[in-house]
Amino acid sequence: MNKEEIIEALKTIVEPYSEEVSALAHIDENTDFINDLKINSANLVDIVLDIEEKFNIEIDNDSMAKMLTVKATTEIIVQKLEAHAG
C-alpha cells in the first residue's frame, strides 16, 4: 500500500469524527486532526482503534501520542506495515 492509498483510507476513517466538510475534502499530508478537522481529542483513541482494524496492525502508546497529523499517522502506519511484512 503506497502513501496515497494510506491517506485515502485514512480519509474514510476520520470522516465520521469531523464535521469540517471543506477540510475533509482537502485532506492532505499537512492536515492536523485537531486544528484542521476539529476532531474532539477524546476521539483520537477511536481513530487509532479504527486504523488498527483497517490495516491489521498494532499501535503502541508512544506511536499513538504522535498521531496528531495525517503525515505523522501515515509514517507510523507505513512503519508498522513494514515491520509486519518483515
Partner 1 sequence: MGNRVVITGLGVCAPNGTTIREFSDAIKNGLSGIRHQPDLEALNFSCQIAGKPALSEERISQYFTPLELRNLNSTGIIYGVIAGLDAWNDAGLTIENNDEPDWDSGTIFGAGTSGIDKFRWAINKIDALEIKKLGSSVVIQTMASGVSAFISGKLGLGNQVSTNSSACATGAESILLAYERIKTGQATRMLAGSTSDSGPYIWGGFDAMKVCTFKHNHEPEKGSRPMSATASGFVPGSGAGALVLESLKSALTRKAKIYGEVLGGHINSGGQRGLGTMTAPNPSAVQRCIKTALKNAGIEAHEIDVINGHLTATTKDALEIENWKTALQLPDDDFPYINSLKGMIGHCIAASGSIECVASILELSEGFIFPNINCEDLSPEVAALIDAKCIPKTVIHKPFNILAKASFGFGDINAAIIFKKYTHE
- Nearest 5°: the CA angle 47, 50, 55 is 125
Question: Counting contacts by CB under 8 A, is residue 54 touching partner 1?
Answer: no
Among 43, 68, 69, 71, binds partner 1 (CB under 8 A): 43
Q: Which stretch binds partner 1 (CB under 8 A): 5-13, 28-36, 39-47, 77-85?
A: 39-47
Question: Counting contacts by CB under 8 A, is residue 25 touching partner 1?
Answer: no
Q: Which three cell numbers stand for residue 22?
A: 471543506
CB neighbour class for 10 (10 Å; exposed up to 12, middle 13-18, buried from 19): buried
Shortest Å, Cβ 77 to partner 1: 17
